[in-house]
Structure 1
Amino acid sequence: MNERLRTAITEHGLTFEALADACSVDPKTVSRWVAGRIPHRRHRWAVANCLAVDEMYIWPEQRTVSSTSELAASQPSGIIETYTNRASVPRDLWLSLLRDATHQIDVLVFSGTFFAQTNPHIARMLRERAEAGVRIRLCFGDPDGAAVVTRGHEEGIGDTLAAKIRASLTYYRNLVHVAGCEIRLHDTTLYNSLFRYDEHLLVNPHIWGQPASANPILRLRNTASSEWFAPYTASFDAVWATARPWTPNHRHPYKEH
């Protein structure tokens, strides 16, 4: 229980619902914060500003974490945050990066099942971004390709990976003809899954034999001093150039032409 947060809310004369509205989150999210969950950085700032208190007073354990992140941001790598695994990345971060993108969204995965299953509105949100002028490129593994067969064998799941890709693609079939949105299939050995939102990049390194979800995430920002951002985005472009366009078969949505 975060007693400091609960007390600050009470002393400020607010309800959980009022604080949730001020921070643009669900009231249940505020309840989780009070129960002890630590919000993403931008929500910590919003809460502290709304309650007129020091962020470090409410979440003193974040003082070391914040200092580490600030130090990392100044390093040539461009890393601003790291996560133990994909599940450790706050859902709010995925959503905010997508919503805030103004010119480019790139996704490179094998199946990317989680990308849609954790956000049932993903297709609508991507369409809205495309209609706002954002260039969207989604690149999935070719379920009939050799790379997917190899990866499925390495993970010990056989043909399951190909089936996951076909299932994942069904979420995006209505985006194929949206201007500014392209979907392709690659037959490439992936060393990383990549998620780019303008000048922010989430890199999910692949550890042999483990699913991408069990591997760490590096969050990079493209700055004048960053050295990692450009090579990773160049690798996306290289894979994209060799990938083939995907066109769904609406009579048989789990199959591609």
Structure 2
Amino acid sequence: MPNERLGAAMAAGGWTYNGLADKVEVDPKSVERWVNLGRTPRRATATLAAETLGEDVHALWPALRQARPARAVSPELVALYGQRADVPVSAFADMLAQANEHIDVLVYAAVFLHESYPRLNDVLRERAAAGCAVRIAVGDPDSTNVQQRGAEERFGHGIESRCRLALMHFRPLAEVSGIEVRTHATTLYNSIYRADDQVMINAHVWGVNAYGAPVWHLRRSGEGGMFDTYTRSFDAVWEIATPVSEG
């Protein structure tokens, strides 16, 4: 089927098959097939041809609007779990214990960590003593967003109680050198557990408790990837979180 839009654009600009072919460095027969047979050139060639004609590439070749195939696997993806309950608690603990520079935790409560790994505070103290910067942000139990999450997950005041319990667990660390503990009142789209260049992301799903929502384990691979997206998110929340004292 002829590409009438392309033929009209060429005619309006006085372009011949040979002229456009020379400009985009293809055989004139290729340009003829674009017009008369409706063939679609490679994206880079089509883009150059459209720029030459002063047209929108997608107007000339609508097929190029189709999204490029997604990568089957991101180079940053270490593992994907259907729900947090599938992740061994040791995976979180081991990752944090291996950190040398950064530990960042952004949650509402995550009391499963202390319940399943009683030495968590000791590990955090040890990492801080070794020079690792530790930042812990837990949900403010009195905040509207925490209370709303409880209603959405049909957990009621339970989530508020768990936030208070998490704060009780982490509060003794507030005065430890190298460790900061804060509370936040933000909408929590994902819980973040970062250790140096690795991070566990517990995605949140409306109406589903965190233990039933997916987790992806990422390892940083260059700048501007998913890992950096989540660490920037943590930093943004940290800036507006409220410091906790030991008292």
Common fold by TM > 0.5: yes
Structure 1 residues 181 and 132: alpha-carbon distance in aligned structure 2, compared to 1, 3 A threshold:
same
1:126 is matched with 124
Q: Please list the CA deviations of residues 63-92 of structure 1 after superposition, one character each: whole Å capped at 9, or x if unmatched.
A: xxxxxxxx73xx35x112101111211233
1:141 is matched with 139
* Matches of 2:223 and 2:81, distance apart in 1: 22
| Letter of the 2:88 counterpart | P
TM-score, with structure 1 as normaliser:
0.66
- Give the C-alpha shift of residue 225 in structure 1: 6.8
Which residues of 2 match residues 65-84 of structure 1 at below 5 A? 72=73, 75=74, 78-84=76-82
| Letter of the 1:218 counterpart | W
Q: Please list the CA deviations of residues 42-78 of structure 1 after superposition, one character each: whole Å capped at 9, or x if unmatched.
A: xxxxxxxxxxxxxxxxxxxxxxxxxxxxx73xx35x1
1:183 paired with 2:177, answer: no
* Matches of 1:212 and 1:113, distance apart in 2: 11
- Give the C-alpha shift of residue 165 in structure 1: 0.9
* Matches of 1:224 and 1:86, distance apart in 2: 26
- Give the C-alpha shift of residue 239 in structure 1: 0.5
* Matches of 2:78 and 2:199, distance apart in 1: 10
* Matches of 1:192 and 1:174, distance apart in 2: 25
* Matches of 2:229 and 2:208, distance apart in 1: 24
The answer to whether the 8 A contact 2:174-2:245 is kept is yes
1:156 is matched with 154
* Matches of 1:245 and 1:189, distance apart in 2: 18
The answer to whether the 8 A contact 2:199-2:218 is kept is yes
Secondary structure in structure 1 of the residue aligned to 2:171: helix
2:172 is matched with 174
- Give the C-alpha shift of residue 96 in structure 1: 1.6
1:235 is matched with 233
The answer to whether the 8 A contact 2:173-2:246 is kept is no
Secondary structure in structure 1 of the residue aligned to 2:216: strand
- Give the C-alpha shift of residue 226 in structure 1: 6.6
* Matches of 2:121 and 2:212, distance apart in 1: 25
Identity of aligned residues (%): 39
* Matches of 2:94 and 2:198, distance apart in 1: 11
1:197 paired with 2:192, answer: no
Secondary structure in structure 1 of the residue aligned to 2:202: strand
The answer to whether the 8 A contact 2:89-2:113 is kept is no
- Give the C-alpha shift of residue 95 in structure 1: 2.2
The answer to whether the 8 A contact 2:111-2:166 is kept is yes
* Matches of 1:185 and 1:173, distance apart in 2: 11
1:206 is matched with 204
Structure 1 residues 248 and 209: alpha-carbon distance in aligned structure 2, compared to 1, 3 A threshold:
farther
TM-score, with structure 2 as normaliser:
0.68
Aligned counterpart in structure 1 of residue 93 of structure 2, from 92, 95, 98: 95
1:108 paired with 2:106, answer: yes
| Letter of the 1:129 counterpart | R
| Letter of the 1:146 counterpart | T
1:45 is matched with none
Secondary structure in structure 2 of the residue aligned to 1:178: coil
Consecutive unaligned residues in structure 2, runs of 5 or more: 1-71
| Letter of the 2:168 counterpart | T
Secondary structure in structure 2 of the residue aligned to 1:188: coil
Structure 1 residues 81 and 188: alpha-carbon distance in aligned structure 2, compared to 1, 3 A threshold:
same
Greater CA radius of gyration, 1 or 2? 2
- Give the C-alpha shift of residue 149 in structure 1: 1.0
| Letter of the 1:234 counterpart | R
Secondary structure in structure 1 of the residue aligned to 2:181: strand
Secondary structure in structure 1 of the residue aligned to 2:183: strand
- Give the C-alpha shift of residue 247 in structure 1: 2.2
| Letter of the 2:144 counterpart | A
